[in-house]
Structure 1
């Protein structure tokens, strides 16, 4: 399931740990918004197969296969999703629906281009802490061909820049106070942690993510996010000298993908 840029799957987690007192106004404080046109994706591609009536998420942290019959079927390995339904609309189009605790929390439609080299994913994700929806339209470029006889969405894919994502999925607010940093998303998740302290559980996060922060310079930090005692992602953030732009680099340890982009202070 798609998780928007700042929210969830590759979250813009966190802040710094300081050996010296924190200034009243940190360079990090404020609300930041992703510039999706700057996004660069790398690492392992997304691999999926839809063939002979079955859909497989090959590159998922815990690979799974379900019948593509329009009914909901249980999956494992996604803290935000219990069940998925896959409906084949036509040879180039597939609809996915996602459910958690019996409630649908996302729908998306994947449409492959006529040359079969680009897939567009358009949908809405309400799996966040307070249920605020994130709407999006993203694209991925084909990296490897589909297996013979498979549906056009099959094969290996990697993200493209220029996604259209609602503000609820591209914004985050930071506030430093003494030795503590508070991070808040429009979708309800938040965390307040002591700089240099232990990992803290993110409030209102259905995935029970824990976050810890390490400062690496006057205007940079590394954030580590964990689930069930395992590292989920490592993120490096650097504020440029203009004080208005952030460089963001995320290494997703669960699926081996990477993402880089900038964000602008609002």
Structure 2
């Protein structure tokens, strides 16, 4: 979940056009400022009752048995199987696999009063083989059905408490109209400004990225999977030397924004 936010929003950090050999204002090492994150308002809607777990807000929506076994799920680029296990009346564990390889594991735990949710995850899909971990908090927007597991209902993202250091860092350089990007997790690409989409090396879904400069000087990145645009990223330099980043999921219709600061 969080990997896509970290990777493909950072991947949009491109420099404005500068003379050859001059250092771009975007050159260097950058880090996400988690405290500045503005998370999506759209709630996640889950249900767990009668042994079936479902996500109606997901695109596409799906439902699987909550039996701890992996089950096929269609329509997702980064995983094709999912398992869900009930730990207790307030806690569940879920995991995803892609082509038989486990790529993610998540624990979701509802507070005793039923109003907050702590989500911890481990992303095992990074190209450099270093698992990335994180923790986020959500708040209840609406209850689930009477008698359903506590995870049931609508939940809104409130904050990302932590993400592994490598997943927050990216090194970038712009020279002669070519932008180079490499994340701490091992994802990388080189794209010509205004040129065609190029492969994101290490991406399990074979994503590509194209970049261009907008009329107001902001920069726009479009990410694609199988030729279909999946996200749009707008970057605007700030007076304090940070970068203001806004990432829109074209599939979900949600946005995330935050600052990037020099590391």
Instruction: Confirm or deny: 8 A CA contact 1:13 1:225 kept in the other structure.
Output: no
Provide the residue aligned with 1:251 in structure 2.
Answer: 248
Deviation per residue, 1:192-242 (Å, 9 max, x gap)? 010111111211110111111121368631111111222111111112123
1:214 pairs with 2:212? yes
Q: Distance in 1 between matches of 2:142 and 2:153?
A: 6
User: Aligned in 2, Cα 1:49/1:255: closer, same or farther, shift over 3 Å?
Assistant: same
Query: Pairwise mapping of residues 3-82 of structure 1 onto structure 2 (< 5 A)?
Result: 3=3, 5-7=5-7, 11-16=9-14, 21=19, 24-82=22-80
TM-score (ref. length: structure 2): 0.92
Partner SS state of residue 6, structure 1: helix
Deviation per residue, 1:46-87 (Å, 9 max, x gap)? 222111111112222221111000011111222221211100
Name the count of aligned residue pairs: 263
Deviation per residue, 1:174-203 (Å, 9 max, x gap)? 111211001111222111010111111211
Find the partner of 2:232 among 222, 229, 234: 234
Higher relative contact order (CA 8 A, sep 6+): 1
Find the partner of 1:98 among 91, 96, 99: 96
Partner SS state of residue 87, structure 1: strand
Report the RMSD for the aligned CA atoms in angstroms.
2.0
Partner SS state of residue 3, structure 1: helix
Q: Distance in 2 between matches of 1:22 and 1:110?
A: 50
Runs (5+) with no aligned partner, structure 2: none
Q: Distance in 2 between matches of 1:134 and 1:20?
A: 35
Runs (5+) with no aligned partner, structure 1: none
User: Aligned in 2, Cα 1:136/1:15: closer, same or farther, shift over 3 Å?
Assistant: closer
Partner SS state of residue 11, structure 1: helix
Partner SS state of residue 166, structure 2: helix
Provide the residue aligned with 2:86 in structure 1.
Answer: 88
Q: Distance in 1 between matches of 2:44 and 2:194?
A: 34
Instruction: Confirm or deny: 8 A CA contact 1:4 1:134 kept in the other structure.
Output: no
What is the CA-CA distance between 1:131 and the residue it aligns to? 2.8
Partner SS state of residue 9, structure 2: coil
